[in-house]
Copies of this chain bind each other. A is one copy, B any other.
């Protein structure tokens, strides 16, 4: 299972049980808005995950109000989600940074802080290799807008690399804070 939507759904359901409507609201109102909140995307995806045994929906009858289905991860679903979270960072993943960041956002809850730090280090290593390959495309005769766009792209990866380092430091700080309290 490669599909980013299903990955996101598993991550959100791992946090807490939610209904399809709850999930739609997450996509409609939070920074996870890269995903569509349309019912035609979400309900079929939930049914697929349920058919594969990764989630289970429980109908709630709440006197009067329309019934809703609360979905939660099964043991198999939790396992599948952890596998997705653990998978090593590939070269092509750098072309989809939003997906990587979403993965990282769920990292503490799925695999714990130590895995988060490992993820940050692996990401930094990939970035260090990738960034120099981008500069090659900076030709002297490009249109200015093309050049600026490419410069922005490179700057973006460099900023991400700086972020990975500061994020590792934040984990150190958090660990020290734990010991002190």
**Which A residues are closer than 8 A to B by beta carbons?**
30-31, 33-34, 92, 95-96, 101-102, 104-109, 113, 116, 134, 137, 143-146, 148-150, 152-153, 155-156, 159-160, 163, 167, 170-171, 174
Q: Are B104 and A149 closer than 8 Å at their CB atoms?
A: yes
Q: Are B146 and A96 closer than 8 Å at their CB atoms?
A: no
A105 and B31 in contact, given A155-B159, A159-B155, A160-B152 (Cβ under 8 angstroms): no
Task: Name 30 A/B residue pairs within 8 A (Cβ), A-sorted.
Answer: A30-B137, A31-B134, A31-B137, A31-B153, A33-B92, A34-B95, A101-B149, A101-B153, A104-B145, A104-B149, A105-B145, A105-B146, A106-B145, A107-B145, A108-B143, A108-B144, A108-B145, A108-B146, A109-B143, A113-B145, A144-B170, A144-B171, A148-B163, A148-B167, A148-B170, A152-B160, A152-B163, A155-B159, A156-B156, A159-B159
Q: How far is the CB of A63 from chain B (nearest CB, A)?
A: 32
Residues of B close to A143: CB separation below 8 A: 108-109
Bound CA–CA A70/B42 (angstroms): 41
Residues of B close to A150: CB separation below 8 A: 31, 105
Residues of B close to A144: CB separation below 8 A: 108, 113, 116, 170-171, 174
Bound CA–CA A159/B106 (angstroms): 24
Counted per complex, copies of this chain come to: 2
Please give 20 more A-B residue pairs, beta carbons under 8 A apart, in addition to A108-B144, A116-B144, A156-B156.
Answer: A30-B137, A31-B137, A31-B153, A33-B92, A101-B153, A104-B148, A105-B146, A105-B149, A107-B145, A108-B143, A108-B146, A113-B144, A144-B174, A148-B163, A152-B160, A152-B163, A152-B167, A155-B159, A155-B163, A159-B159
